[in-house]
Structure 1
Amino acid sequence: MIKFIEAIFQNFSTWGLPVLVLLLGVVEFSLGLYKRKWNKNERILDIVCFTIPKLVVRPLVAYFGLKFLPVLLPGFKAAFEWVPFWWGFFIICIADDLTQYWYHRLHHEVPFLWRFHRTHHSAPYMGMAMASRQNIIYTIFFSQTYLTTALVYIGLGYPALFVKSIKSIITTLAHSSIPWDKPFYEKKWLNPIAWVLERLISTPATHHAHHADSNDDGIGHYKGNFGNMFFVWDVIFGTGLITRKYPESYGIQHYQEEEWYAQFMWPIFKSRKEGSELSHNGPMVHEDPTTPVAAATATISEPISAKTSLELT
């Protein structure tokens, strides 16, 4: 049984995740959950963002990382093999996801960084297609890209494999347009589980709120809900909002459907759309149309508030 579980996680880190994304994507399309918003430009962007990091970025980082680390840390190869699996699993879960929480949050707080993360939020839909949608620079500096390679080198590759697989499942399902968490809210006997679940990990309801194009309805919360695998960071740092509801619309209100290559490779390639955040000499951030004019001097189109109280439901 243990060998079978190991095989699942080993395969998940290679071809398992693409298969899961493909199967769920087929279900989403069959149910019409993209609402005809997946045009040619969006399709190319989503496919490129899904394939290039897996086929180019991560293999290159792993190859050169394992060549460079013995020179940088000659005495640390397999140095932590003695660490028990569950201790390694716990430590990596915390270190990896907490780092990603702040990496993600800073890209909403710092105007200069916003345009590197904007690609992920430009999609006017939620689903498997856009789950990996990121600017290439954001991906290259993504902490997990290097952490996994370093952990393999120091002897913690086995627990890192399990963390990566579980995290991929949680974050993929949180982006899905299939509201798998809804039964936990609707069935009273499941409510206690829902209360724990939605505060522990990212769910469609909490993460969809982060991708909403407005905060006006009391459901959208692109100013918070930054957690990737664990939502508990939003609870701890006061950036969480739990409503158990789903936004009516997603994306960026001032989205100009910039060319896929500009969204994927800005600032190497820039958009030809005049006034776009990704165009030559374009604004660093757009004024948020949902805020008063006085807020125009706010840092980043108001994609974050420093603290937001958690609505306990």
Structure 2
Amino acid sequence: MKLEQDLAQRIKRDAAISVFLYLTPIALMFTAFYLTGYKPWEGSSGLPFKVPRFLEGIFKNLSSWGLPVIVLVIGAVEAVAGLYENKWTKNERLLDITCFVIPKIIIRPLVTYYSLLLLPELLPGGKDMFSWVPFWWAFAIIAVADDLTQYWYHRIHHQLPWLWRFHRTHHSAPYMGMAMASRQNIIYSIFFSQTYLTAALTYLGLGYAALFVKVIKSLITTGAHSSIPWDKPFYQIKWLNPIGWVLERLISTPATHHAHHADTADDGIGNYKGNFGNMFFIWDIIFGTGIITRKYPSSYGIKHYKEEEWYAQFLWPIIKSKKEGSELSADGPMVGDEVPVQVRAEESLQTSTAG
């Protein structure tokens, strides 16, 4: 009971801080306008930033077909290099592929289509109403709003046990790789904030900035889940150390995000009850939910993983698992992201027997 009260108080405190963080880039933008006398909403003679045409083309292609191609290339490199360590069984492979394909070709297009149909009814005078906002200010506002919202969406799925089973699929794999970035239960994917936010912002006239945020965020999160440790040179090469120090506190890197997917927190490296940041790791720094070790966990996944059927992991609770005792089975236990006492007892017994 005491732990639940402490958690509730901490969430309330951090939520209040979040309101301030959401408003900060907006306040800074208007402060800059006031100090410079720039009033873009009145057709000021000052020119807002205009996205160069060649950049627009690059990012539009990345958003449509370019990004999936990049992800597939990274996945091919991981597979050829053996970075999945023969843990990509048929069940895991079907789950990863399903989670990669269906949200991209069905869920997100449908959500975007119907959102753009519904928005004129909900906000009849809203079309392009914020098109006056200079690009880089729009980028900063959207980056904060989008990623901080996702931080909270992610965090509460760990901290509220009844939500954990919708996110559990993302943590069940005993390996890391680019496929993990989209490995999610269908309910978790449907209510994912970024698709709705991008559609709404496009309608309101901030499509350029929303598109840039979406692409850059996708590249960062894919890189953070990848089994390719691209951040190691920043820790090992002395003159890169200062850049690495800033980088690992600003964005998610393989070291910080792999820690979130560790199957234990007992080694001082894993932190599956923290390191929630998606594009930005700075939220974990601000809210005290992150640890930085510059090390990688020795094992990943869930200690009590029962290798539930791929379709049950993807479609729970619509379709439930047939695995007895599974959280995803009919009347399965609701244990949250804690390691069950029974599993801890078995580990202790194994350790003492080995000794």
Q: TM-score, normalised by structure 1?
A: 0.91
Larger radius of gyration: 2
Q: Which residue of 1 aligns with 2:67?
A: 17
Task: Give the 5 Å matches for 1:153-164.
Answer: 153-164=203-214
- Indicate if the aligned counterparts of 1:101 and 1:233 stay in contact, CA closer than 8 A: yes
**Corresponding residue to 1:169 among 216, 219, 224:** 219
Does 2:209 align with 1:127?
Answer: no
Q: Which residue of 2 aligns with 1:84?
A: 134
Alpha-carbon distance, 1:2 to partner: 3.6
- Indicate if the aligned counterparts of 2:321 and 2:330 stay in contact, CA closer than 8 A: yes
**Corresponding residue to 1:242 among 268, 278, 292:** 292
Whichever residue aligns with residue 223 of structure 2, its letter is L
2: CA distance between counterparts of 1:250 and 1:292?
16
**Corresponding residue to 1:225 among 275, 280, 289:** 275
> Aligned pair in 2 of structure 1 residues 6, 290: CA closer, same or farther (>3 Å)?
farther
**Corresponding residue to 2:253 among 164, 185, 203:** 203
> Aligned pair in 2 of structure 1 residues 28, 284: CA closer, same or farther (>3 Å)?
same
Alpha-carbon distance, 1:131 to partner: 1.7
- The SS at the match of 1:145 is helix
Q: Which residue of 2 aligns with 1:152?
A: 202
Query: Structure 1, unaligned stretches of length 5 or more?
Result: 295-313
Question: Residue by residue, what CA displacement relative to the aligned partner does 1:229-268 show, whole Å, maximum 9, x if unpaired?
Answer: 0000000000010000000000001101100111001000
Alpha-carbon distance, 1:129 to partner: 2.1
Alpha-carbon distance, 1:4 to partner: 2.9
- Indicate if the aligned counterparts of 1:205 and 1:246 stay in contact, CA closer than 8 A: yes
Query: Structure 2, unaligned stretches of length 5 or more?
Result: 1-50, 346-355
2: CA distance between counterparts of 1:293 and 1:197?
35
Whichever residue aligns with residue 339 of structure 2, its letter is D
- Which has the higher mean CA deviation after the structures are superposed, 8-17 or 84-93? 8-17
Question: Residue by residue, what CA displacement relative to the aligned partner does 1:140-187 show, whole Å, maximum 9, x if unpaired?
Answer: 111112001100110001100000000000000000000000000001
Q: TM-score, normalised by structure 2?
A: 0.81
1: CA distance between counterparts of 2:135 and 2:66?
22
Task: Give the 5 Å matches for 1:1-313.
Answer: 2-285=52-335, 288-289=339-340
Greater fraction helix = 2
RMSD: 1.6
Alpha-carbon distance, 1:291 to partner: 9.8
Identity %: 75
Alpha-carbon distance, 1:29 to partner: 1.1
2: CA distance between counterparts of 1:209 and 1:290?
22
- The SS at the match of 2:301 is coil
- The SS at the match of 1:64 is helix
- Indicate if the aligned counterparts of 1:214 and 1:290 stay in contact, CA closer than 8 A: no
2: CA distance between counterparts of 1:52 and 1:27?
23
